[in-house]
Amino acid sequence: MSDEAKSAGLRLNALLVEAGSEPLDSVLTQQFEEYLSLILRWNARVNLTAIRDEEGILSRHFVESIACARALPADIRTLLDFGSGAGFPGIPIALCRQEIAVTLAESQGKKAAFLNEAVRVLKIPVKVHAQRAELLTVPFDCVTLRAVDRMELAVQSAGRLVRPGGWLELMTTENELPRMQAAAGEEFSWNRTVKFPGSEERLLALGERVG
């Protein structure tokens, strides 16, 4: 592990502490360092994420995804990351919540190839569904999604993949939340929101499927 990667791990833990959250243990810190190195290498030739600098990846993608993992209810055992892209928040959830069986759905071939490589390098038991998430038929305890194309339609499709009593986890903004909740429909009860650190707008919303 390079000194740069180790420095990034220290910075990630400092950001978590600044946000009022617990730092990662040494094993998890090293896994996130490896994940960051992989993203930076692939981003040089594949457009994985619009946020390309190390600090932005740490503060936005990693810290917010770790917050998602820690906010999930304790009884979740299966989770779908709908339109996973570079693996946010699915891979951090798989790292932080090892009791959850995570599936990453990503239809773009190059991004799906990256996800398979990340799963291999990080040695995590995660499935990559290299097709559109809408083609899945098995329901999940939780479906999570963030900033995917045609978000309202995606929220509708994601909601259909949540089992009764399960959860829909949305990474969105305060302004967009009412529209996303309406797209999910009356089957979901929205009783939990978590503001992301360092932002007045970005938040995590958890809706329970009651219908």
The model's pLDDT over 128-152, given as tens digits with 9 standing for 90+, comes to 999 999 999 999 999 999 977 788 9
Contact (CB, 8 A) for 66 and 97: no
Cα–Cα dist 108/102, whole Å:
18
DSSP-based helix, strand, coil % in the chain, nearest 5? 45, 25, 35
Contact (CB, 8 A) for 193 and 61: no
Domain that holds residue 136: 3-209
Number of folded domains that form the chain: 1
Whole-prediction pTM? 0.94
Longest CA pairwise span in the chain (Å): 51
Query: How sure is the predictor about 51, in pLDDT bands with cuts at 50, 70 and 90?
Result: confident
Peptide bond into 178 cis (omega under 30): no
- Give the CATH number, domain containing residue 166: 3.40.50.150
Query: How sure is the predictor about 6, in pLDDT bands with cuts at 50, 70 and 90?
Result: low
